[in-house]
Amino acid sequence: QIHDKILLTGAAGALGQVLRERLKANCKVLRVSDLNDVGAAADREEVVQADLGDAAAVDRAVAGVNAIVHLGGYSVEGPFEPILQANIVGVYNLYEAARKHGVRRVVFASSNHVTGFYRQSDTITPAHPARPDGLYGVSKAFGEDLSRFYFERYGIETACLRIGSSFPEPRDRRMLATWLSHGDLHRLVSACLDTPVLGHAIIYGVSDNAVTWWDNSSAKHIGYRPQDSSDPFREAVYARTTPPDLSDPAAVCQGGAFVTAGPFESK
Ligand code: NAI
Ligand code: 15L
């Protein structure tokens, strides 16, 4: 399906650069936005620089688009203030602008760190209670709840993608379970943009890995069919990494190193 105009936030980031290329196939015009410089507008692109913490700037970025792919934000565990501005105030500014401008659908980059304190021996679904593994995970849980409110109250549909680890290749043993290939990331975002009825859905963003901790069967209506798997990388990952230390929560919990990160505050 070809959409008229899609806004991609976080376009200067790692996944933003990946989707900037690929999402042009999904729309007539792709509007790219970030706090950082995203370079000049290419063919069929528009550039609107915006700090997510700045409501007026976010309003300008959202005006006139049909759908939003929201990747912008503070993307790791860290101090509260920048997380607050980018992920909490920022996601509020985004939904307020979407409401005012009549945008009907958002694909929101949430994170597996919303449920990072579940054990790697657990299999969980999006219906399990959140167990955020840090302030970053809490901020993504806020975004999920806020999007639920805008769906119930205003009918704005959102897919909350609890992305696992989206990198060119799985980097360690944990990522054999959490890996989302860039191709599958684009397939997942496309499915969320195109499905006739999205509603408010939470889905783990993960490839078809043999080992998985996440059951996505409640989100089948989206029509996401992963085509990649971490399995071909398994042998090489095992060869270059050591077995997990089972007394370390970072090795036992789904969130990995995030569960022991911080605190980052000075007092
Ligand atoms: P990234 O850190 O490379 O990109 C995030 C982008 O957001 C950056 O270009 C940054 O400039 C922008 N940004 C930060 N604060 C901003 C603000 N106040 N206003 C406007 N823009 C701001 O992160 P990456 O890896 O590309 O991830 C994209 C999204 O997906 C993030 O929201 C991240 O939390 C989420 N995610 C990514 C995963 C991954 O495996 N890469 C896993 C789970 C979630
Ligand atoms: C995330 O939420 C981060 O944005 C990303 O950089 C990875 O660390 C990923 O989770 C992960 O859990 O591997």
Q: Whose CA is nearest to atom 14 of ligand 1?
A: 73
- Quick: pLDDT tens for 165-217: 999 999 999 999 999 999 999 999 999 999 999 999 999 999 999 999 999 99
- Mutation probe of ligand 1 site: the residue of 49, 69, 71, 188 with most atoms within 8 A of C-beta: 71
Distance in angstroms (rounded) separating the CA atoms of residues 5 and 45: 9
Distance 165 CA to ligand 2 centre (A): 5
C-beta of 72 in contact with ligand 1 (< 6 A): yes
- Quick: pLDDT tens for 29-65: 999 999 999 999 999 999 999 999 999 999 999 999 9
Q: What is the mean pLDDT of residues 79-85?
A: 97
Distance 133 CA to ligand 2 centre (A): 12
> Predicted ipTM?
0.99
Which residue's entry shows tokens 């409401």?
99
Burial code of 216-227, b = ≥16 C-beta within 10 A, e = fewer? beebeebebebe
- Quick: pLDDT tens for 12-21: 999 999 999 9
Predicted model pTM: 0.98
With cut-offs at 50, 70 and 90, classify the pLDDT of residue 267: low
Q: What is the mean pLDDT of residues 252-258?
A: 98
Mean pLDDT value across the chain: 98
With cut-offs at 50, 70 and 90, classify the pLDDT of residue 265: confident
Domain ranges across the chain: 3-260
Name residues contacting ligand 2 (CB within 6 A).
75-76, 111-113, 165, 178, 256
- Quick: pLDDT tens for 128-156: 999 999 999 999 999 999 999 999 999 99
CATH class of the 3-260 domain in this structure:
alpha beta
Burial code of 159-179, b = ≥16 C-beta within 10 A, e = fewer? bbbbbbbbeeebeebbbbbbb
- Quick: pLDDT tens for 109-135: 999 999 999 999 999 999 999 999 999
Q: Is the peptide bond preceding residue 263 cis, with omega within 30 degrees of 0?
A: yes
